[in-house]
Each structure stands twice: as structure tokens, then as C-alpha cells.
Amino acid sequence: MKKATLKDIANLAQVSVATVSYVLNNVSTQTIPEETRCRVLEASKELQYIPNLAARSLVMQKTGLIGILVNRANNEGYWKKFRYAALIEYLERNLTERGYHVVLSSIDASAPRLDIISERKLDGVFLIDVRSDTFHHISRLFSVGVPLIVIDSLIDDSLFYKVVDDYEQLLTKHITTPTSSNHYLIVDDFNNIELVSSIKKVSALAIEDIHVMSNEQELRLFLNRQKGRSGIIINEYISVLAAKYTDPSTLTVICNAGCPDIVPTQAKLFTYGEQKYEVTLELMLKLMNNPLSGSSNKYIKIQAE
């Protein structure tokens, strides 16, 4: 009933553990006669051998584990809770497909502990919506040399790649045209306040026309003050809430949670979706193959669709 090991196979097949390892891993530098190869393979099948990846990791210095670390605060609104569900699902599914295993871990936004990266010897890390004021904790990780991609966070740092939606392009070119600037804007409440500030700024709207999401009550109060105006909302889940208090046809929704389907039908919408996920994934795969492959510009800006 005990799990079979290389040793068990070696015993059964009457060879050494080394040989078993060679066969099972198809080591190209070794030439094994078909006869022994078969004996080993058969024994391994009979014993239902499954390798122990912890042991392998120890010697290989590679774990095959990729971390997705999401900054979370207590009692988040559901729009925050679901904001990264689609991204996580995409990354996980594609990484799993490629033979990696994904470790999902929420980290306390106000006191991030990233020990998991070293403890588990993660081969790569996605760090999502991180506060920049806590980011210095992380800089020492670079010495560890782990490929790390920061998502949805503006950070003053030149070491790590950062994938971030290009709200500027969207807000200035497509939405707030000079001729129709009588808008209000509802901004998603990212943990990374620099991102929030940046969005506020590029919107070129007055302070009183901008609301940063906090809770339903505040949202309602803000919307009540905007009667008759049209609005831009970042995060489709927030738009669902907003539709309770204002006419959806006056809304333009910027979908950053990968679920445009829930946007009220009368609203106009833009989405950051699949494409963002693809870019993020490809970047990670590239970084893991060649940790030093680095362009000087570490910001990857995603265009909306």
C-alpha cells in the first residue's frame, strides 16, 4: 500500500536506481538496451510508480511551481473578490497544460509576506495588485532571481516587469473626447493607489466628477448627484451595482474583470480580457526560459478592445 519509489522498481527489475532513473526520464546521454528498458518500464507500471516531485525538486533546484499571489484586504467588496477570477483561471489552466503546478496564495495587502516564494522555491511569480508602499519588502527577492511579474500595479522600480491596463489611451482617445467631456468617472478601488491616482489624472476630470469605489452606500450617494450625466465605470461588477441607481444606457463600462457578460445590456463597454492574459502568460514563459531576457522598458501596457 506504500507508494512505490525508484528503489522498489530497481529491486523488481533487478537493476540499479540509476538505471531506473535513466529509463524513466529518457536521459539522452545514456544508451539503454531495449531489453532492460522494458523490464524497468514494466516494473514501474506494475508498481504504479509516481515520482515524488519534492525529492526531484530538491536535487534539480527547480520545483515546477508557479505562484499567483493576490493582495487581499479583509472584507473586500465582491467586485474586488471577483476581479481576478478570470485571470487566475486563465493562467492556471494554461500553466497546468504546460506541466507546471500553480500555487495560489492571498497575501495581506497591508503586511505582505512573500516567504512563500523562497520556502516553496517557486519557479515564477505573478504578483497581483500590490501596494507600492509595501513593495520594498520584495526587492531582495530579485537576488533570488525569481521571474516575477507584477500585475495592475504602478511601482517605482526598474527590476520587474509590470503588466497594466492602458487606461490613459482608453480614457483620452476613446471616451472623453474634447467635445463631450461632461462625464463622471467611477474608479475601481485597487490596492495600488498609484494606479488609482494615475487613472484620475489621465481622465482629466475634476475631483468632484470622480468617485473611487468604496461601498454601495457611497456609490449610491455619488450617483444621485450625477442625475442626467453620463458616466464611465471601471470594473463590470461595479457597473451592475451602479445600474441599480442610474440609467444603464448612460454608462460606459471598462471591463477589467474578464466578465463583460454581466454588464447591463444598454451600457457601452470596453474590455481588457483574453489579450491581457495571453501577454502576461507569454512573458512569464519567456522569463522562465531566459531569466535575463529583459528589455529596458518594464511596463507592458494593455490596450482595450
Residues that bind DNA (CB under 7 A): 3, 5-7, 14-19, 21-22, 24-25, 27, 29-33, 35-36, 49, 51-52, 55-56, 58-61
Cell triple for residue 244? 441599480
Nearer to DNA, 279 or 288 (CB): 288
Q: Which of a copy of itself, DNA, none is residue 22 near (CB under 5 to 8 Å by kind)? A: DNA
* Dist CA 168 CA 243 (whole Å): 25
Question: By CB neighbour count within 10 A (0-12 exposed, 13-18 middle, 19+ buried), where does 158 fall?
Answer: exposed
From 61-69, 129-137, 191-199, 201-209, span contacting a copy of itself (CB under 8 A): 61-69
Which one, 50 or 208, has the nearer CB to a copy of itself? Answer: 50
Taking the alpha carbons at both ends of the chain, their separation in whole angstroms is 55
C-alpha 211/C-alpha 229 separation (Å) is 14
Pick the piece of the chain touching a copy of itself (CB under 8 A) from 25-33, 81-89, 123-131, 186-194: 81-89
Is position 45 an interface residue for a copy of itself (rule: CB under 8 A)?
A: no
Query: CB-wise, 3 or 45, nearer to a copy of itself?
Result: 3
3-class state of residue 234 by DSSP: strand
Question: Any residues with CB less than 8 A from the CB of 282 and at least 6 apart, and which?
Answer: none
Residue 149 CB, nearest distance to a copy of itself (Å)? 17
Contact segment (CB under 8 A) with a copy of itself among 33-41, 94-102, 172-180, 292-300 equals: 94-102
Residue 106 contacts a copy of itself per CB under 8 A? yes
CA 125/CA 128 separation, integer angstroms: 10
AA letter at 104: L
CB atoms within 10 A of CB 247: 15
Binding residue for a copy of itself, selected from 21, 105, 134, 169, defined by CB under 8 A: 105
When the beta carbons of 61 and 217 are compared against DNA, the nearer one is 61
The grid coordinates of residue 118 equal 523562497
